Amino acid sequence: MIDPLAIEYPEGVAASLDAIFGYVHLPALSKHIHEVALAFTFYQGLFLLGPFFGSFVSSYKTLNERTRLNFDIHIVSQVQCLLILALAFPAFFDEDLQDDHIFAYSPYAGLVYAFAVGYFAWDSYISIRYIKWFGPGFAFHGVASLSVFLLSFRPFLMYYGPIFLYFELSTPFLNVYWFAGHLPAGTISEKIQLVNGIILLATFFSARIACGFYSVVRLVFDVMAVIDKMPLWLPGVVLSSNILLNCLNVYWFSRMIKAVQRRLKSAKTGAAEPDLLTEEEDVKGHKME
């Protein structure tokens, strides 16, 4: 599939980019670096527009600085997950990726990964800039995710890109859950919260746990078939990251069940019961993913 945002760099620029990214063993990135920059700029622009979006919420100015920051971040997260889901869907049918699940390259898949890299570059920047609030764990998560997605430009595992990016299927509902818990009571109705909670649990389990473990097993078999054609650290990094993520998803799923139950009970009784997904844990909702 073609990349609709592909551009022709001037010959000298193209040669320089090829040399730079070839040196760091990410040759395919030279064709998509402008898209990484575009994505980063787009997400930063959305973040800076956070107060504008907040102006439509009467309580925005009354929130403390940390919660306002989280509001702005969740706006970016919501747009990002919807955008990446839309971009990733056509890649499931990309014929360029079907014959080789490990080393195939597709211009369109490169576009999808460029937007993922741009987002995690922005996420890493925000996590490091506000490390006093988010802590080193969130910064590590952002940098680690950025590093793993960059590896796709060797190229490596582009076939699995849309599969793993569809873990984001639960993120829109997770963000709605966050907004419901931090905006004034009644902003999001009890009925919508109930439906959202059910869909959140269903999509989280199906996309992240059921599909997640199945996809890792498929990935292991595909990698083992060509293990002699790559440095061992390469599949080691990707597989260990995905296995760890899947285990964390199981843990978070158990927490989410209890949290949704308590949120709904609180909504029915009108009591402000503590949420198991505390401010410290869901401070950046997309991090729970």
The pLDDT tens digits of the residues spanning 202-253 come to 999 999 999 989 999 999 999 999 999 999 999 999 888 888 888 888 888 8
Does residue 273 have a pLDDT over 50? no
Residues 6+ apart with CB under 8 A from 176: 188, 192, 196, 200
* Nearest 10 degrees: Cα torsion 173, 177, 178, 181: 170
Percent of the chain with pLDDT over 90: 61
Distance separating alpha carbons of residues 259 and 167, to the nearest angstrom: 20
**Model-level pTM?**
0.87
pLDDT of residue 269: 59
Residue 127 sits at the vertex; the CA angle it makes with 119 and 80, to the nearest 5 degrees, is: 25
CB-based burial of residue 147 (10 Å sphere; 0-12 exposed, 13-18 middle, 19+ buried)? middle
Residues 6+ apart with CB under 8 A from 46: 75, 76, 79
Residue 102: HSE in the Cβ half-sphere, 13 Å Cα cutoff: 17
* Nearest 10 degrees: Cα torsion 221, 226, 227, 231: -130
Residue 169 or 265, more confident: 169
Structure tokens that stand for 85 in this block: 């889901």
Sign of the CA dihedral with 136 first, then 46, 163, and 110 last: negative
Q: Give the tens place of pLDDT for each residue, 74-88.
A: 999 999 999 999 999
CB neighbours of residue 173 within 10 Å: 20
pLDDT of residue 64: 87
Distance separating alpha carbons of residues 136 and 144, to the nearest angstrom: 12
Distance separating alpha carbons of residues 117 and 115, to the nearest angstrom: 5
Structure tokens that stand for 95 in this block: 């014929």
CB neighbours of residue 178 within 10 Å: 23
For the chain, the helix, strand and coil percentages under 3-state DSSP, each to the nearest 5? 80, 0, 20
Q: What is the largest CA-CA distance in the chain?
A: 67
